A and B are shown apart, each in its own frame.
Chain A
C-alpha cells in the first residue's frame, strides 16, 4: 500500500469501548479502517496501564497492516513502547516541548484546543495538528461546554497546521461543520457506536469528499430531465449511480442523442450538458 502523507488525513477515529459493548475493540477499529478512516487514536482514560499497553500493541499491529497512522492518547511511554506514530495530549497534560523531548522529532504531537488562543499557542509550541472542539455537546467529554461551529470557522481562518473538528459530530451535523470550514472530521460514538462502523466511515468520507469537490469547483451543473442539477459525477455511469438508478433499466440521452450503455463510463459529464434519463417502459 502506498502511504499518503499523514497530514492528508480526513477522517480521524478514536476508540471508545463503552460505545460497543460486546464487540471486540480491534474488530470494531478494523471496520473503521475498512471504511476508510485514515488516522486512529487509542483513548482509554479509565483502564489500568497494562491493558492500555495491550490495546496499544494490538492497534499498532492493526494500523500498520492498513498503513494508517496510530496515535496514543496521554500515555507517552506507551506510545514509545509500541512505536506509535504519535501522542495526543490535552490542555492539562504535559507541555508540548516535554512530549517532543521524550518522543523525538519524527513523531506526531496532537493537542486538544477549545479556543483560538489555545490553538495559536499549540501551533507556536510545535504541535503537528490540533483538535478543535467539542463542536457539539458530547457524552464522550461530559461537562465541557460546546464551542460551536464559530470556533471551527476561526480555526479555519487562522490556523496553518492541520486541525480536526471533534465533539458530537454525527452524519446529521457533519455538513454544518464542513460548511463552517473543517476539512478533517473526528467522530467517536457516531462511528464506533454504529451498527456498521465501516459504512459510517464511508458516509463521513463521502460528505468530506463532496465538500472538497465543491471547493475545487469540481461540481458540474447540468440539465437533468429538464431541471438544473449539480453533480460531482465525472461520467454518465457515475451520474446514474449517484442518482441511485444503477439497478434500473434506464435509457440515457445526452444533448439529444442516446448513449449506448457500453459507452456510459466513457461519456464525460461536462458543464451545461442536457441529459435525459428515461426509465424503459415495458408494458405491451
Chain B
C-alpha cells in the first residue's frame, strides 16, 4: 500500500468502475483475483500492463529470456537501459509494473515452463494468459489449465496477423482439439520468420486482456467463445465459433469446474495431470532450438553459481557481461553462451542443437 494514504489513489479505478458491467463489485473481484502470464515478450508485456493497470490482485509473470535491443520495437514494458543491462524480461517487467501499480502484488519468475515445473507457477491462478512463442508450450498450458478447470487465453502474432481465443474448460474445446498434438507439425509463421508489427501485438493483447478482465470481474457470461483471426495491415477480422468440449478428448472431454473444487482437490488434479513426468524430472538434459532465432536453449541437470563461472571465464580471458540473473560469455567462434542459475543455457549464434550441446559440454562441464 502507498504511504501517501489511500485517498490519493481512491480514483485509480474510477473509469473502470464507471463501466457498468464491472462496477464496484467487479473491481472488488479483480482485486481478489490471480492471473498467470506465461511468456513476457511482446504479448506478455502488454498483457501484464493491462492486468496491472486494471487492478488484478496478483499478477505472476514467467519468462525464460532476457531483454535485447530487437525487443524494444514492440515489447512495451522494456527500455534501452533494460537491454543494455540484459535484464531478464520477467524482472524488467516486474520493475515497471510495480511502478505502475503499487497496490497489487507482482511476482516475477525467471524460468522456462515445462511439464516438470509447471505446478508452481500455476499455483493459485484463476486464469492463464498466453504470451508464449511456441505451440509446444501452449499445448502444455492448455492441458494444465483444463486439468485445473481454469481458462487459457491463447494469443499469437506474426507479421501483421494475430489470433486469439478464450479456451474455457467445460464450455469450449481445448487447444489440442483445435490444432492437433503432433509435435512435428509445421509451425505457422512466427515473429522471427515473418517479423511482427507492434500494432498487431497490441490488438491481440487487447483481445486477450478483455476476456481475462471479463472472467476475473465476474462477467463470465460475456466471454466470447470464439476464435478471432485478424490482419491489421489489410484490416480483416474473422470470428469463428469455438466448438464445445470434445467428448472423446482426454483433455477437454472431462469437466472439472474450478468453483466446485477445494484447493486440495485442485492440487490433486494438477498433480494427476503431470503424473508420469515428475519421476524423471531430476535428470534431464534437453536442447531445444528456438525457432528462427539462431539460438538453442540447453537445460542441464545442474545449477550455475554465476559468480564462480564469471571468474572462470575471466581467468580464461573471454569477454563477458554479467548481472545477478545471468552471465553472457562471448566464445571465440562468435557464439555466445548465456547462463542462468537454474541450469539453463541459451546458446546464441547456433541453430543446431547438437552443436549447442557440444559447446555446453566443452565449456561448462569443467569444475
Q: Do A and B come from one complex?
A: yes
Instruction: Tell me, in angstroms, the Cα distance from A256 to B238 when the chains sit together.
Output: 9
Q: 23 A-B pairs, CB-CB below 8 angstroms?
A: A249-B179, A249-B180, A249-B182, A249-B185, A250-B179, A251-B179, A257-B242, A259-B243, A261-B176, A261-B179, A262-B249, A276-B238, A278-B229, A280-B179, A281-B188, A282-B133, A283-B42, A283-B133, A283-B157, A283-B158, A283-B189, A283-B190, A284-B191
Whether B131 and A284, one on each chain, are in contact in the complex, defined by CB atoms closer than 8 angstroms, is: yes
Interface contacts (Cβ under 8 Å), in number, total: 111
Flag if A257 contacts B240 (CB, 8 Å).
yes
Tell me, in angstroms, the Cα distance from A49 to B248 when the chains sit together: 64
B39 within 8 A of A: yes
Is there contact, CB below 8 Å, between A282 and B243? no
Which partner residue on chain B sits nearest A257 by CB separation? B241
CB distance from B7 to the nearest CB of A (A): 40
Partner of A284 from B39, B179, B194, B249 at Cβ < 8 Å: B39
Docked Cα-Cα span, A281 to B227, in Å, equals: 12
Closest-by-CB residue of B relative to A250 is: B179
| Contact between chains at B186 and A247 (CB < 8 Å) | yes
* A257-B243 in contact given A282-B158, A284-B41, A284-B155 (Cβ < 8 Å): yes
Q: Which of B121-137 contact A (CB under 8 A)?
A: 130-135
Known: A282-B158, A284-B191. A260 touches B173 (CB 8 A): yes
Interface centre among A258, A259, A263, A279 (most CB of B within 10 A): A258
Interface flags, A265-284, vs B, CB<8A=1, else 0: 00000000000101111111
In the complex, besides A283-B133, A284-B132, 16 extra interface pairs with C-beta distance below 8 angstroms are A247-B186, A249-B185, A249-B188, A251-B229, A260-B243, A261-B178, A262-B246, A278-B163, A279-B189, A280-B163, A281-B156, A281-B161, A281-B163, A282-B135, A283-B156, A283-B157
Assembly CA distance A250 to B180 (angstroms):
9
On chain A, the residues within 8 Å of B44 by CB distance are 284
CB distance from B143 to the nearest CB of A (A): 15
| B187 proximal to A (CB < 8 A) | yes
Does A216 lie at the interface of the complex (its beta carbon under 8 Å from any beta carbon of B)? no
Instruction: Contact check, A258 vs B188: say whether CB atoms are below 8 A apart.
Output: no
Given contacts A256-B241, A257-B240, A284-B155, contact A248 B177 (CB under 8 A): no
Given contacts A258-B243, A261-B180, A279-B189, contact A284 B157 (CB under 8 A): yes
Q: How far is the CB of A129 from chain B (nearest CB, A)?
A: 46
Main secondary structure on B side of the interface with A: mixed
CB-CB nearest in chain B for A284:
B133
Query: Is A238 among interface residues, defined by CB-CB distance under 8 A?
Result: no
Please indicate the chain B residues that have their CB under 8 angstroms from the CB of A250 in the complex: 179
> CA separation between A206 and B125, bound complex, in Å?
53
Kindly list chain A residues whose C-beta atoms are within 8 Å of the C-beta of B132: 284
| B170 close to A (CB within 8 Å) | no
| B94 close to chain A: CB less than 8 A | no
**Alpha-carbon gap, A284 to B132, bound state (A):** 5
* Complexed CA–CA distance, A250 and B188 (Å): 8
- Alpha-carbon gap, A164 to B204, bound state (A): 59
Instruction: Assess whether A253 is interfacial by the CB under 8 Å rule.
Output: yes
Query: B289 CB to closest chain A CB, in angstroms?
Result: 14
Instruction: Mark out the residues of chain A between 170 and 199 whose CB falls within 8 Å of any chain B CB in the assembled complex.
Output: none
Q: Tell me how far the C-beta of B47 lies from the nearest C-beta in chain A, rounded to whole angstroms.
A: 10
Task: Say yes or no: is B36 at the interface (Cβ < 8 Å to chain A).
Answer: no
Cβ of B329 under 8 Å from chain A: no
CB-contacts of B178-236 with A (<8 A) = 178-180, 182, 184-192, 194, 196, 227, 229
Question: Is residue B162 contacting chain A, with contact meaning CB distance below 8 A?
Answer: yes
A281 and B157 contact, CB distance less than 8 A: yes
Distance A260 CA – B251 CA, assembled complex (angstroms): 13
Residues of chain B with a CB closer than 8 A to A278's CB: 163, 229, 238
Closest beta carbon of chain A to B67's beta carbon, Å? 15
In the complex, chain A residues whose CB is within 8 Å of the CB of B157: 281, 283-284
In the assembled complex, the Cα of A283 lies from the Cα of B43 at a distance in Å of 9
Sorted nearest first, the 4 A-B pairs with minimum C-beta distance are A283-B191, A284-B133, A260-B177, A281-B156
Shortest B154–chain A CB gap in Å is 10
Given A249-B180, A284-B39, A263-B242 contact (CB < 8 Å): no
B50 to chain A, nearest CB (A): 15
Q: Which residues of chain B come closer than 8 Å to A259, judged between CB atoms?
A: 243
**A276–B135 Cα gap in the complex (Å)?**
21
Q: Which of B163, B176, B179, B291 has the most CB of A within 10 A?
A: B179
